[in-house]
Amino acid sequence: MTGLGEYRVGIDFNPSGDERVNEVKSVAAHLINIYAEGAKSVNDPEVKRLWALAQTHAEDSAMWAVKALTKKPMGA
């Protein structure tokens, strides 16, 4: 079953077939899943906000890392 983290990072989308992309996305998905689970167990809105930010930044991090891994050099 695909979890929230896998959905958010697009775990199955890797047209380059680069194994490093798979690894980055897998780790980020795992973190997002941990953070989402943490958010479920609290009622404090501020703590929920912090968990949401952690999820967002894990997703952001994966996106930028994938871009770095797949970016073609200038002029190529």
- Please check whether residue 39 lies inside any domain of the structure: yes
User: What CA–CA distance (Å, rounded) separates 42 from 48?
Assistant: 7
pLDDT category of residue 1 using cuts at 50, 70 and 90: low
Domain count, the chain: 1
User: What CA–CA distance (Å, rounded) separates 72 from 45?
Assistant: 42
| The pair of three-digit structure tokens given for residue 11, joined into one six-digit string | 């775990």
- Please check whether residue 9 lies inside any domain of the structure: no
Eight-state DSSP code of residue 14 = -
At residue 21, does pLDDT exceed 60?
yes
- Please check whether residue 4 lies inside any domain of the structure: no
- Please check whether residue 37 lies inside any domain of the structure: yes
- Please check whether residue 51 lies inside any domain of the structure: yes
- Please check whether residue 5 lies inside any domain of the structure: no
Quote the pLDDT of residue 20: 98
Tens of pLDDT, residue by residue over 36-59, are 999 999 999 999 999 999 999 999
The pTM assigned to this predicted structure is 0.91
8 A C-beta contact, residue 37 and residue 58: no
- Please check whether residue 56 lies inside any domain of the structure: yes
Domain that holds residue 55: 17-68
